[in-house]
């Protein structure tokens, strides 16, 4: 299967003030991401508040992103990829979403482990992924490893061993966890058989330095993608000092959003500050207040964010 080179963005889902889905910003959203160096999108995941969306809303978003993606190219003239997160507490629903993604021509699908019931073994995880991936047998399937969200603190190396050959369209893992050792161990499995997409924007450079990391899926790439893409560009050019500076700046940005309930909440409000208002968050997330927005802007100005962010 084709491996992803560069960074894919995990977009936020736009809502109207009344909480209903707002599809209008998506074409401009896709254009912003493409011109800042992103290779595509991984929609309806954690950044996109996917578990708070109905099936119909998730399908509407997928169709709208597919249309928007068809009208833009990456900075290198490539097609803009759309990967659809189809994970759900209902495997039946997930299969339906996977089949829909395949029908509309998405590039790939992915799923994180369900937050309920908690998956407690590699065998359970294999069964869960197997039952979803078969809904779109023609598309690459990525397991989205983010145990902080669902408690599935399982060995991804053992998962690859168990799923290898069992899930025919398993492409790899979106790895959003702190263990760089395990990430690299999975990357080296069978001489790099699977696509290991790095999922933590704060540690892109270490994964490059360990050797072999090629692609990733980020959340702060929504508004800081040009700098995160720049880390990879500087590394490939042999400019370690520039790569370090960009990684450190990107960590400064993350330090700020951690003061405002993280990327899903604080990061989404940053999109308004850079000119693309994506509306509030859905309950139970607590949307940034007007007073908090003033402080968020002040902290971003203190690190010269607006001179360096996505344009």
The residues that are catalytic are 144, 174
For the chain, what is the radius of gyration of the CA atoms?
A: 18
Task: Please report, in angstroms and rounded to a whole number, the separation of the first and last CA atoms in the chain.
Answer: 33
Longest dimension (CA), the chain: 53
For the record, the structure tokens of 288 come out as 């940034």
Q: Identify the sign of the CA torsion 201, 207, 209, 212.
A: negative
Classify residue 116 by burial, with Cβ atoms within 10 Å: 0-12, 13-18, 19+.
Answer: exposed
What CA–CA distance (Å, rounded) separates 237 from 128?
Answer: 41
Residues 6+ apart with CB under 8 A from 193: 164
Using alpha carbons only, give the angle 38, 39, 44 rounded to the nearest 5 degrees: 90
Element at 292 (helix H, strand E)? helix 290-302
């Amino acid at each position: 299967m084709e491996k992803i080179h560069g960074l894919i963005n995990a977009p936020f889902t736009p809502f109207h003030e009344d909480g209903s889905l707002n599809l209008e910003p998506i074409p401009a959203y896709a254009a912003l991401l493409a011109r800042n160096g992103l290779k595509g999108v991984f929609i309806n995941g954690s950044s996109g508040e996917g578990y708070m969306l109905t099936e119909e809303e998730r399908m509407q978003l997928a169709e709208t992103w597919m249309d928007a993606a068809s009208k833009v190219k990456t900075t290198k003239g490539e097609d803009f990829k759309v990967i659809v997160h189809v994970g759900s507490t209902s495997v039946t629903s997930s299969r339906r979403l996977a089949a829909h993604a395949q029908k509309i021509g998405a590039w790939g699908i992915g799923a994180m482990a369900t937050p309920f019931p908690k998956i407690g073994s590699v065998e359970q995880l294999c069964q869960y992924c197997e039952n979803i991936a078969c809904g779109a047998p023609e598309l690459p399937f990525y397991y989205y490893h983010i145990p902080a969200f669902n408690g599935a603190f399982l060995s991804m190396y053992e998962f690859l061993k168990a799923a290898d050959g069992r899930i025919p369209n398993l492409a790899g893992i979106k790895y959003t966890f702190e263990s760089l050792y395990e990430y690299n161990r999975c990357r080296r499995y069978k001489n790099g058989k699977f696509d290991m997409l790095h999922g933590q924007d704060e540690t892109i450079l270490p994964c490059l330095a360990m050797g072999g990391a090629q692609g990733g899926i980020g959340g702060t790439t929504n508004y800081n993608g040009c700098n995160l893409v720049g880390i990879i560009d500087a590394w490939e050019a042999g400019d370690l000092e520039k790569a370090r500076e960009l990684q450190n700046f990107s960590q400064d940005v993350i330090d700020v959003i951690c003061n405002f309930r993280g990327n899903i909440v604080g990061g989404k409000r940053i999109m308004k500050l850079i000119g693309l208002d994506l509306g509030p968050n859905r309950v139970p997330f607590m949307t940034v207040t007007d007073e908090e927005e003033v402080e968020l802007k002040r902290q971003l100005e203190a690190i010269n964010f607006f001179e360096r962010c996505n344009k």
